[in-house]
């Protein structure tokens, strides 16, 4: 493209300092959180919905592809430009000025560029939170665009469930601003258009404002580590916990022994909580929580959890090999160290899978049997959200493994795992990371033709211009 003319034009529309072109300034916007580095033609950082609309309209008119970027914490190369140098980055990082809390409605209206941590810090005094619990600290617009889930999905659901309204800019010749910012909980007056922009990685339109559901911050929490009697008992254990504590259950996370050992090795300050220091093959972190401060006559949550685990322990089904209640801070510290720990074990080939809840352990069991035969010297270090069927299925290969020198081995490993997960178990190849360049090939492979066709047609009607890194 005739760069300088477009750059000047964009600067005229949204401000001189709002368009970056220096390589050093652009570098952070070109580099993804986990994978690869692209090349941006420019980085546009509009400070308002109106400016963002003007920039989008200009780029659509001139055939320039824009890649919307929010917090750039995604793991599938959905928010960075490709290597051609022809794509512009459209950053939300200056859209941070709106914060309108409605306590009675338990909702908040925020600009899409606000960080999750900022949002929750500002909600603290009201005793409320946006209940999506993640390892990363994304901006809100990107959370909606990828429909993030996280560790408390079981209790609070995903971002979709907690989104009341959106303001969106469409990639058409006028940069149409679609105001879908309802703050109503019940509203059935036609098609719910905001759903198109949730989980579609910014390819249907650019989110600039969000109205979000809030929840009371839990005031009491109790956690336990459970060692299931066998892989088969995990699913029954989950159902037993749900029957026993119902909506108090706020996490039910699975951790493989390999992942736990990697975390304990990597973070020496973590205490090994297991008897004799022997890490079991598979451990579950169960958390219950409630929003009230302790009340007269009320059992403490630790007592509740103790009682429930005792009942399950003594039950006929013998679901538990071991179980103990422990301090939430310590137990979650171990859970949160898994990701970094696993990364330090070697070269990581990571999968973001999900299954019917009852299939999680069946899939893991099959992998344990077949992987070593098919791909020797690859270690399984999985962990994940059993309560909602999610599995961060991580494979680790030694750093000096010659097979990793070109992409062929990794590609065949990836294809083999995905084929079993998706085609044989009916699972998802992207449970909570949505679609970007990194997993586009699998979208193409596993999405039935009529669904791809309809998705592409709908997208063309909504945002005909080139937007986002996802291809339909």
Judged by CB under 8 A, which stretch of 15-23, 50-58, 192-200, 334-342 contacts a copy of itself?
192-200
Closest to 111 measured CA to CA, from 213, 214, 14, 210: 210
Could you give the 3-state DSSP secondary structure of residue 28? helix
Nearer to a copy of itself, 117 or 247 (CB): 247
Q: Which of 67, 304 has the CB closer to a copy of itself?
A: 304
Q: Under the criterion CB under 8 A, does residue 365 sit at the interface with a copy of itself?
A: no
d(CA 360, CA 354): 8
Q: Does 153 bind a copy of itself (CB under 8 A)?
A: yes
Q: Which is nearer to a copy of itself, 64 or 144 (CB)?
A: 144
Contact stretch for a copy of itself (CB under 8 A) within 5-13, 24-32, 87-95, 289-297: 289-297
H-type helices in 349-439, by residue range?
360-374, 408-418
- Per CB under 8 A, contacts with a copy of itself among 230-249 are 235-236, 238-239, 242-248
Which parts of 109-138 interact with a copy of itself (CB under 8 A)? Answer: 127
Tokens 């998706």 -> residue: 422
Q: Does 390 bind a copy of itself (CB under 8 A)?
A: yes
Between residues 186 and 399, which has the closer beta carbon with respect to a copy of itself?
186
x/- mask, a copy of itself, residues 79-108, rule CB under 8 A, reads -----------------------xxxxxx-
Among residues 16, 22, 406, 450, which is the contact residue for a copy of itself, using CB under 8 A?
A: 450
Q: Does residue 418 interact with a copy of itself by CB under 8 A?
A: no
Closer to a copy of itself by CB, 189 or 405: give it: 189
Neighbours of 400 (CB within 10 A): 9
Q: By the 8 A CB rule, do 250 and 155 touch? A: yes
Q: Are 31 and 37 in contact (CB under 8 A)?
A: yes
Q: Report residue 368 as tokens.
A: 């344990």
Smallest separation (angstroms) from a copy of itself to the CB of 119: 19
CA distance linking residue 196 with residue 457, whole number of Å? 13
Rounded CA gap, 472 and 468, in Å?
A: 11
| C-alpha separations of 439 from 139, 316, 431, 434, 446 in Å | 22, 45, 12, 9, 11
Instruction: Work out which of 117, 291, 412, 424 binds a copy of itself, going by CB under 8 A.
Output: 291
Q: Which of the stretches 153-161, 342-350, 400-408, 412-420 binds a copy of itself when contact is defined by CB under 8 A? A: 153-161
CA dist list (Å): 391 to 255, 256, 351, 356, 360: 10, 11, 8, 11, 7
Q: Does residue 88 contact residue 40 with C-beta atoms inside 8 Å? A: yes
- Residue 423 binds to a copy of itself (criterion: CB under 8 A): no
Q: Which of residues 202-221 bind a copy of itself (CB under 8 A)?
A: 204, 216, 218
How many binding residues for a copy of itself (CB under 8 A)?
99
């Amino acid at each position: 493209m005739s760069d300088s003319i477009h750059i000047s034009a964009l600067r005229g529309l949204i401000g001189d300092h709002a368009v970056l072109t220096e390589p050093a300034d652009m570098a952070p916007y070109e580099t993804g959180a986990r994978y690869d580095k692209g090349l941006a033609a420019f980085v546009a950082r509009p400070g308002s919905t109106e400016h963002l609309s003007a920039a989008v309209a200009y780029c659509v008119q001139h055939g320039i592809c824009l890649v919307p970027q929010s917090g750039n914490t995604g793991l599938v190369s959905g928010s960075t430009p490709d290597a051609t140098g022809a794509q512009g980055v459209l950053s939300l990082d200056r859209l941070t000025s709106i914060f309108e809390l409605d306590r009675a409605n338990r909702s908040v209206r925020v600009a899409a560029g606000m960080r999750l941590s900022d949002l929750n810090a500002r909600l603290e005094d009201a005793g409320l939170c946006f209940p999506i619990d993640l390892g990363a600290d994304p901006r809100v617009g990107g959370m909606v665009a990828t429909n993030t889930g996280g560790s408390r999905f079981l209790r609070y659901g995903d971002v979709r469930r907690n989104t009341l309204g959106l303001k969106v800019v469409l990639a058409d010749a006028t940069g149409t601003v679609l105001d879908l910012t309802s703050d109503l909980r019940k509203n059935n007056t036609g098609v719910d258009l905001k759903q198109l922009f949730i989980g579609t990685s910014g390819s249907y339109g650019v989110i600039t404002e969000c109205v979000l559901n809030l929840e009371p911050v839990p005031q009491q929490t109790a956690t336990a580590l459970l060692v299931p009697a066998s892989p088969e008992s995990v699913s029954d254990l989950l159902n037993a916990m749900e029957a026993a504590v119902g909506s108090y259950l706020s996490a039910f996370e699975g951790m493989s022994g390999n992942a736990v050992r990697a975390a304990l090795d990597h973070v020496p300050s973590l205490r090994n909580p297991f008897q004799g220091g022997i890490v079991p093959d598979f451990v579950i972190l169960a958390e219950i929580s409630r929003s009230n401060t302790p009340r007269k006559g009320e059992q403490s949550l630790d007592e509740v959890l103790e009682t429930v685990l005792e009942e399950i322990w003594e039950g006929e089904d013998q679901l538990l090999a071991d179980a103990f209640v422990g301090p939430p801070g310590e137990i979650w510290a171990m859970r949160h160290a898994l990701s970094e720990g696993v990364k330090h074990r070697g070269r990581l080939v990571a999968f973001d899978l999900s299954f019917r809840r009852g299939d999680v352990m069946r899939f893991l069991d099959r992998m344990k049997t077949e992987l070593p035969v098919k791909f020797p010297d690859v270690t399984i270090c999985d962990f994940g959200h059993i309560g909602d069927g999610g599995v961060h299925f991580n494979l680790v290969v030694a750093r000096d493994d010659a097979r990793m020198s070109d992409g062929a081995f990794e590609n065949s490993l990836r294809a083999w795992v995905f084929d079993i997960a998706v085609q044989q178990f009916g699972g998802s190849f992207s449970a909570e990371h949505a679609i970007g360049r990194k997993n586009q090939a699998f979208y193409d492979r596993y999405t039935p033709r009529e669904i791809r066709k309809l998705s592409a047609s709908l997208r063309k009607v909504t945002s005909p211009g080139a937007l986002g890194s996802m291809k339909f």
